Structure 1
Amino acid sequence: MLSFLRKSHWSPPRILATGFAAIILLGGFLLTLPFTSRNGTTTPFIDAVFTATSATCVTGLVTVDTGSHWSIAGQIIIATLIQVGGLGFMTMSTLFAIVLRKRITLKERLIMQEALNQGSIEGIVRLIRKVLIYSLSIELVGAILLTVRWSFDMPLGKAVFFGIWHAISMFNNAGFDLFGQFGTPFVSFTGYVEDPIVNFVVMGLIILGGIGFIVMSDVIDYRLRRKLSLHSKVVLSMTTFLLIIGTIVIFVFEFTNPKTIGALDWDGKIWASFFQSVAPRTAGPNTIDLAALRQASQFFIILLMFIGASPGSTGGGIKTTTFATLVGAVAAMIRGKEDIVMFKMRLHRERIFKALTITMLSLTLVVFVTMALSTTEEHPFMMILFETTSAFGTVGLSLGLTPQLTVMGKILISLTMFAGRLGPLTLAYALGPRAEKELYRYPEGKITIG
């Protein structure tokens, strides 16, 4: 991979898009082989590619149940795709380069910068090393805790496999689970809705994977520098705000719904509400039946999925910093201020334009795919919008539409997951013509707004 990057004259966004596409196709091919299915038959190519796309794009939407359809070999392939997709193939390529003591070129540093959504290449290799150390350490701790808990429910060997597999899936915000092999497909974590250990560990893995490696590095280094960057402050404050608001909204809307949290005791209600506030941060597991949620709750989850995780993380969506910038722009306009100020620091106008561009491209994608699916799929509009937003935000939460999709529907959702993982702006750069510097500017004009 690194030798190809050195010879390639493509732009970093185009290399990223091509790299992810190549990994998806390879994974899809492997998943069509008979030994990857539990019954030893060949999986249809469209379902294999859909699963590979969902795993590589760390989404979690599936057309076949992961636990009951795929063999151990197939599940290992899926977990590998999740790990590569979550950390990014450039991170994995860098790992091999470091191990083999190969020099990392400027071209490769630029691609890493694009992959991690960084403003410069300064310290990018050092950040990659931290990404690998933090990720593997967090996954190891999560795997141990889950193994200990599940060793009470299943044989130790299976508990170890489940612990490692789900730690990878949850930290990378993929949302895949294996519990369908116990009899009920697509069951996710509903059997552990009131289990404090499983809830705490899974939510911790999701949150840590969703805040981003830059923030993790910043927080760990805080004891040395005694300060956090503006980026980390915005991410942590917005993440906390969304988690609290999400928990309150779901708790209030579903409090009397006997099909969701209404039948649970107070502890169960709080755990379930908090879990379903965390899951839309681009993870995808659920502890209650999402199809049984009131429509107000479903629509609110759609909003959370659209916002998604934070930059430089394993998650998708427009990102928390983009949402914070838009909120700041609205607040500044209402107060008659020229600048967006956060934590006593002013944002550059280029950041504002980028936030608006990402939001409009994302909204356009979601609207277009939703309209297209409304034509190809005979299902309620809310279900289609929910599934589309889940695919774009690489979340994986589902109201049950994905297993019933037509071939065209599977293709549309696969493309949406791909666009959501790369980011609409990166994908636009990859597909668009090479930008040329403008040699002149037009005279300024005025139009009436509002």
Structure 2
Amino acid sequence: MSVMMKKLTHTQMIVLGYLLIILCGTMLLMLPAASKDGQTTPFVDAMFTSTSAVCVTGLVIADTWQKWTMFGQVVILSIIQIGGLGFMTIGVFFAIVLRRKIGLWTRGTLQESVNILQIGGVVRLAKKIIIGTLIFEGTGAVILALRFQKDFGWVKGIYYGIFHSISAFCNAGFDLMGQEEAYSSFTGYYNDWTVNLVIMLLIIIGGIGFFVWNDISIHKWHAGRYCLHTKIVLTVTVVLIFGGAVLLYLFEKDNTLQGMDTSGKILCSLFGSVTARTAGFNTVDTGALTDSSKFLTVILMFIGGSPGSTAGGIKTTTFVVLLVYMKANLRNQMYCNVFGRRLDDGAVRKASTVLCTNLLLVLAAVLAIITIQAEPVIDAAFEVVSAIGTVGMSAGITRGLADASKIILIFLMYCGRVGSLTFALSLRGHKTEAPVKEPVERIIIG
């Protein structure tokens, strides 16, 4: 078995690993014990939920509290944790605990899984990821449990604290707030500073990436010593969060924010901006947003979080590289420079490939869904980008989709988690390009 695995490329191993976890989750969720009605959940619905959990998306075909038993909820929470951290990270951590030797192939696969620049120190990083996750999720769980026990009692309050802390940190978007009203998410806590701040901080910390964690832990508050990657991630994260919040406030102050006090409006705007970057929770009715807010949310979902994190999307670094490349071309500059450093050509090529791949998938999926069933284009685009960005926010049409449309979203969620580029690269195997250059001929562009 080990020999067969090592015949796979690193990308193939990642793609296959996530697929196996999804299938295991599907089988468990199909069991009558997982559903509150005691019936076997249809295969497509179970796979949709399992894929959404493993790919830390949060799109659901039924309210999590009302549909799934405690067993089903624990299954969902378990595969959220595996999907959020990455099965390779968890596997390597157990190998460290059991004092097993970690070979070069495993280290290479782990490097690809957590998306870092070099293989050196990848095992130490895996330990930091696990320890950091326990600290952040544990702290969040304690604070949320103390808050929720006032509403649900200690037993349920502790359970709710653990569930929502893990779901938020992994940017999964699954919630258990449907006890009063299905699909309500955190709308009942729209003006609760404790719940909002804890959930937002967990989402942001989980979404900035493990490499950034490591860089900050090494250089502490000496920002000048941070790697270029870290500087880009932190800068863009701040700009998108506060820029998105301001725009959402302007677009929604006479709509979903109407009637709220200033504190509630600020919290809802910030929460909406943060959660749109791949978390999937909501404190206002997402389906009731204005078209301007929906389109802004689509943009934020498409950009997503940062590489090597629990988040999805094309990633913040891809977004910045493309902007810098565009600026360099408009100014007729030879190189792409940012923060006093020059970007290498490989980063530009990869960023362009990621953008084009995701954009083509989004356009094809939207066209397919509106062909299969009559849905507004903006709502179909919202669900599609939410799926490929592993966000989980919904305009309210997911639970009414036909099986064919659900399968499309399943594929998009899967590509969003493993990376659309990683999925494409896994199909090419070990083939290498022949060292032959074709003759050059110019064409007209633009």
Please state how far the C-alpha of 1:40 moved relative to its aligned partner: 2.1
Equivalent of residue 203 in structure 2, options 203, 206, 231 = 206
Q: RMSD of the alignment, in Å?
A: 1.3
| Structure 1 partner of 2:75 | 77
Which deviates further from its counterpart, 433-442 or 340-349?
433-442
* TM-score normalised according to structure 2 size: 0.98
Tell me how far apart the structure 1 counterparts of residues 382 and 215 of structure 2 sit (CA, whole Å). Answer: 34
Tell me how far apart the structure 2 counterparts of residues 168 and 190 of structure 1 sit (CA, whole Å). Answer: 19
Letter in structure 1 aligned against 2:187: T
Equivalent of residue 297 in structure 1, options 293, 296, 303 = 293
- The gaps in structure 2 that reach 5 residues or longer are none
Please state how far the C-alpha of 1:333 moved relative to its aligned partner: 1.3
Letter in structure 1 aligned against 2:354: I
* TM-score normalised according to structure 1 size: 0.97
Tell me how far apart the structure 2 counterparts of residues 354 and 399 of structure 1 sit (CA, whole Å). Answer: 31
Tell me how far apart the structure 2 counterparts of residues 218 and 6 of structure 1 sit (CA, whole Å). Answer: 35
| Structure 2 partner of 1:221 | 218
Alignment of 1:220-259 (within 5 A): 220-223=217-220, 227-257=225-255
| Structure 2 partner of 1:183 | 180
The number of residues matched between the two structures is 445
Please state how far the C-alpha of 1:368 moved relative to its aligned partner: 0.6
Equivalent of residue 350 in structure 1, options 346, 362, 369 = 346
Alignment of 1:2-21 (within 5 A): 4=2, 7-21=5-19
Q: Percent identity?
A: 43
Q: CA 1:6–1:138 in 2, change beyond 3 Å: closer, same or farther?
A: farther
- The gaps in structure 1 that reach 5 residues or longer are none
Tell me how far apart the structure 2 counterparts of residues 161 and 119 of structure 1 sit (CA, whole Å). Answer: 38
**Preserved contact between residue 5 and residue 13 of structure 2 (Cα < 8 Å):** no
Tell me how far apart the structure 1 counterparts of residues 5 and 426 of structure 2 sit (CA, whole Å). Answer: 18
The reply on whether 1:412 has 2:408 as its aligned counterpart is yes
Tell me how far apart the structure 2 counterparts of residues 91 and 5 of structure 1 sit (CA, whole Å). Answer: 20
The reply on whether 1:448 has 2:436 as its aligned counterpart is no
**Preserved contact between residue 52 and residue 59 of structure 2 (Cα < 8 Å):** yes
Deviation string 1:136-157 (CA, Å, 9 cap, x unpaired) is 1100000000001111111100
Tell me how far apart the structure 1 counterparts of residues 291 and 5 of structure 2 sit (CA, whole Å). Answer: 52
Tell me how far apart the structure 1 counterparts of residues 269 and 435 of structure 2 sit (CA, whole Å). Answer: 55
Secondary structure, aligned partner of 2:101: coil
Tell me how far apart the structure 1 counterparts of residues 80 and 389 of structure 2 sit (CA, whole Å). Answer: 15
Letter in structure 2 aligned against 1:190: T
Deviation string 1:350-409 (CA, Å, 9 cap, x unpaired) is 110000000000000011111111111221111110000000000000011111011111
Secondary structure, aligned partner of 2:185: coil
Secondary structure, aligned partner of 1:221: helix
Q: CA 1:91–1:389 in 2, change beyond 3 Å: closer, same or farther?
A: same
Please state how far the C-alpha of 1:433 moved relative to its aligned partner: 4.2
Letter in structure 1 aligned against 2:431: A
| Structure 2 partner of 1:365 | 361
Letter in structure 1 aligned against 2:359: L
| Structure 1 partner of 2:279 | 283
Please state how far the C-alpha of 1:51 moved relative to its aligned partner: 0.5
| Structure 2 partner of 1:195 | 192
Deviation string 1:5-60 (CA, Å, 9 cap, x unpaired) is 77430111111111100000010000011111123222112111110000000000
| Structure 2 partner of 1:108 | 106
Deviation string 1:119-162 (CA, Å, 9 cap, x unpaired) is 22111111111111111110000000000111111110000000
Please state how far the C-alpha of 1:80 moved relative to its aligned partner: 0.3
| Structure 2 partner of 1:422 | 418
